[in-house]
Amino acid sequence: MSLPFRVMGIVNVTPDSFSDGGLFMDARAAIAHARELVAEGADIVDVGGESTRPGAEPVSAAEELRRVLPAVAGLAGDLTSARATPAGAMDARPRISIDTSKAQVARAALDAGASIVNDVSALRGDPDMAGVVADSGCECCLMHMLGEPRTMQRAGRPQYKDVVDDVRAFLEERLAFAVREGVREERIMLDPGIGFGKTVAHNLELLRRLAELTELGRPIVIGTSRKSFLGRIAAEGAGLAEPPDARHRLAGTIATNVLALERGAEVFRVHDVRPLREALAVAAATLGGQWTPSPTGTTAAS
């Protein structure tokens, strides 16, 4: 069954990411984890070497390269044959994304085998990034963020006149900028940046009105996986004094991603690939209004 979404599995090669920092710093551990994500159904593996959690400090290009290049290079050969492609079908092999805002890192990762640049700065962090993306012809993701990771949740509550209108205007401007710089429009994805300089109310409003962003005509990427606003909502709903930690936010992650699919999102960046892919597949079959099993699939009625 052809599914109307792609799942992007997260591989953080960082010591300080909010959910799994330090677990995959070793290239062998990162590659092993990526293999697990592919086995669970990841269409894209997103490798990042600089944390973008609130309050995170930047790292140098040299340090970021030291972290990510061994993993990207190792994955490139490994993933090309990780998933069989049936005769006559479109290439279903997983792809590697590099999560960076630095042109030097993006260029090296693309040379090593990545084919997507996931830039949380939307080509603002490095004046050379647009040229790297345009020259390579790769796919890219442009994300909205208020400020930068170190400051995006500081100095009081983030302020917007209308969060959806403001995010839409930003993404529309960055899309136009990228195209002017030579990036092919059909290669661009857009991410509203859930949790990046937004309150809980902002995040929920963006999810509720996500269809307004799909009107921009580009695939929308959603990244709610394990984020703190899910823990805050869950704690309030259960009457808990403290939110559950990041590893116990799967239910909220599934709920937000299924709702986002219904509102038109197409790419889902997650830590827990298998349960998210299963939930999205069921939601897609329900929303599509028909079920056509594959020749090798299960045909039981219940």
**Residue of 168, 198, 227, 263 marked active site:** 227
- Phi then psi for residue 188, to 5 deg, are -105, 130
Question: Is there a catalytic annotation at residue 187?
Answer: no
Question: Is there a catalytic annotation at residue 208?
Answer: no
The contacts of residue 51 (CB under 8 Å, 6+ apart) are: 12, 14, 15, 16, 17, 18, 21, 149
**Residue of 67, 95, 269, 277 marked active site:** 269
- Cβ atoms of 272 and 246 within 8 Å: the answer is no
What does the block give as tokens for 88? Answer: 């006559």
Integer angstrom CA distances of residue 162 from 3, 96, 192 = 33, 35, 13
CA angle at residue 13 from 12 to 18, to 5 degrees? 45
d(C-alpha 105, C-alpha 112), whole Å:
10
- Cβ atoms of 45 and 79 within 8 Å: the answer is yes
Amino acid, res. 148: E
- Cβ atoms of 15 and 21 within 8 Å: the answer is yes
d(C-alpha 266, C-alpha 22), whole Å:
29
Residues recognised as catalytic: 227, 269
